[in-house]
Amino acid sequence: MDQTLLALLSKVDTPTVCNAIETVQGRRGFAGFTRGTMICTQPGTAVVGYAATARIAALAPSTEPPEVIRARRMAYYKAMHDAPKPSVAVVEDLDFPNCIGAYWGEINATVHKGFGMAGALTNGVVRDLADHPEGFPVIAGSIGPSHGHVHVTELGTQVRVFGLHVAQGDLIHADRHGALVVPPDVVPALAEGIDKLLSTEKIILDAARRPDFDFAAFEAAWAAFEKART
């Protein structure tokens, strides 16, 4: 990823990227985002990177032999370590909506950050909230105390997190609002789309923040705003 675009994406929130995608596409209706309210361990930080996907389960113990589970676990960690950077761990909990196994606690968050990953996205459970390392946000489905019988079931397959389908290598942007997948064809024009969106929003925001703001000023600013926006 272009470092200038990466720096820009790291500074803006996910709603801004969502709107900027529509600005680039020239129409409303972009739908590649999560649905519902999620938990973010570091609310002021955006997670940007390419998806490294996996699936887990925790409600019941695995019926596979222990050596198979151990081998898959280490294969998981190797895949996360080797994922092209910047990378985001995107892990679907197959127990959803009845998830009980907190895969994302102090140890896993610290290990994944040590691998150089930018953060994690999951429909599952997070815990150890006071002990997560800075700079590794986890956007999760819920908070809970137990790891249950958590075990990795699949690596590198398409996953689904709060209605968002994510494939290995998809470009993810996520924060306290949820997450989205950036369409590949939008990437070359995304920085320009963000700049256009922010300058368009400034038309109405600057007017609304003036001490002499009234309905006439609103009407004039809104007309200019609607003319400029998608």
pLDDT per residue as tens digits for the range 51-107: 999 999 999 999 999 999 999 999 999 999 999 999 999 999 999 999 999 999 999
* 76: its two tokens: 């998981």
Cα within 13 Å of Cα(85), Cβ side: 10
C-beta atoms surrounding 59 within 10 Å: 14
Q: Find out whether the peptide bond into 97 is cis, omega within 30 degrees of 0.
A: yes
Tell me which residue has tokens 């009407």. 219
33 beta partners: 180
pLDDT per residue as tens digits for the range 132-165: 999 999 999 999 999 999 999 999 999 999 999 9
Q: How far apart are CA 230 and CA 213, in angstroms?
A: 24
121 beta partners: 90, 139
31-182: CATH topology is Glucose Oxidase; domain 1 (3.50.30)
Domain ranges of the chain: 31-182, 188-228
The pTM of the whole model exceeds 0.85: yes
Between the alpha carbon of residue 116 and those of residues 7, 17, 136, 180, the distances in Å are 16, 23, 9, 21
C-beta atoms surrounding 75 within 10 Å: 14
